[in-house]
Amino acid sequence: MSDKRDKKKSKAIDWVEATLSEFDGVRFLHLDSIWVQGAMRVKKPEKLELEYVQRMMAWMLWRDARELNQGMAVQLGLGAGALSRFCRKQLKMKTTAVEINPTVISACRHWFHLPEDDERFRVVNEDAGQWVADAANWGTAQVLNVDLYDHEAAAPVLDDEAFYADCRHVLADGGLMTVNLFGRSASFARSAARIAKVFGSDQVWHLTPTREGNTVVVAGRGVEVPSREVLEQRAANIEQRHDLPARKWLKLVRPLPMNIINQIRE
């Protein structure tokens, strides 16, 4: 028994170290590689610096402006803490971030202005898959941001139907999830199909890829789709109040392509 416990303990602390770099006023988080895991403009820590991270907030288009600060936002994968800081400070939402790597949490506390835990904010050092599978967390979140990549940033580390089903369970009725995927990779169609099988194809949308290839998928749990006029009003309001390019998002939103929908039907 002691040998097993020792092995588990050793494995638990064998994490890839978080490192940082800076260029032109922007601080970047890395996991012992050249790949960027997150970024923060040093003089404007509350601003969402990376384009794909901004798009992770596209769920705001599907939610009434009067409800934006209601309920809890959850981030699976802390990165440089950008989404967590934004949801807590800008949207005034209760916010929980789930991060498996303790060196990332430490780096965010020291280098990326991540606040200490309080009644509105907490960071949980736990495996995201286990966290969403815990029934105690089901129905607790209005917003779920999923950005789970390892240090090589090759593909999501949690990406099967069981995981997305648990993500849906975590959402309250009317809740919304955004997921960062690589839209120019063959894995995008597989991942999007898995999400759509769980949420329903009429509850899943995507934004066209960024220059770097990141494609954000938006999935809802029983979300009513607003009219185009309402969406345009919401986009204008988001730009005015939160300095995010929401009108651009609206132009980039697409339903799932037919090849993915056909995968679901097979």
Cβ contacts of 112 within 8 Å, gap of 6 or more: 27, 29, 38, 40, 45, 80, 81, 85
Residue 125: phi and psi, rounded to 5, are -85, 90
71-88 pLDDT per residue, tens: 999 999 999 999 999 999
DSSP string, 212-246: T-EEEEEEESSPPPPPHHHHHHHHHHHHHHH---H
- Which domains are seen in the chain, by residue range? 50-265 (3.40.50.150)
pLDDT band at 4 (very low <50, low <70, confident <90, very high): very low
CA angle, residues 121, 223, 74, in degrees to nearest 5 = 15
pLDDT band at 157 (very low <50, low <70, confident <90, very high): confident
DSSP string, the chain: -HHHHHHHHHHHT-PPPEEEEEETTEEEEEESSSS--EEEETTBTTS--SHHHHHTTGGGGGS-GGGTTSSEEEEES-TTSHHHHIIIIIS--EEEEE-S-HHHHHHHHHHS-PPPPBTTEEEE-S-HHHHHH-GGGTT-EEEEEE--B-TT-SSBSS-SHHHHHHHHHHEEEEEEEEEEEETTSTHHHHHHHHHHHHH-GGGEEEEPP-TT-EEEEEEESSPPPPPHHHHHHHHHHHHHHH---HHHHHHHEEEPPHHHHHHHH-
Statement: residue 128 has pLDDT above 50: yes
161-209 pLDDT per residue, tens: 999 999 999 999 999 999 999 755 668 889 999 999 999 999 999 999 9
Whole-angstrom distance, CA of residue 215 vs CA of residue 108? 25
pLDDT band at 151 (very low <50, low <70, confident <90, very high): very low
212-255 pLDDT per residue, tens: 889 999 999 999 999 999 999 999 999 999 999 999 999 999 99
Q: Which amino acid belongs to residue 182?
A: F
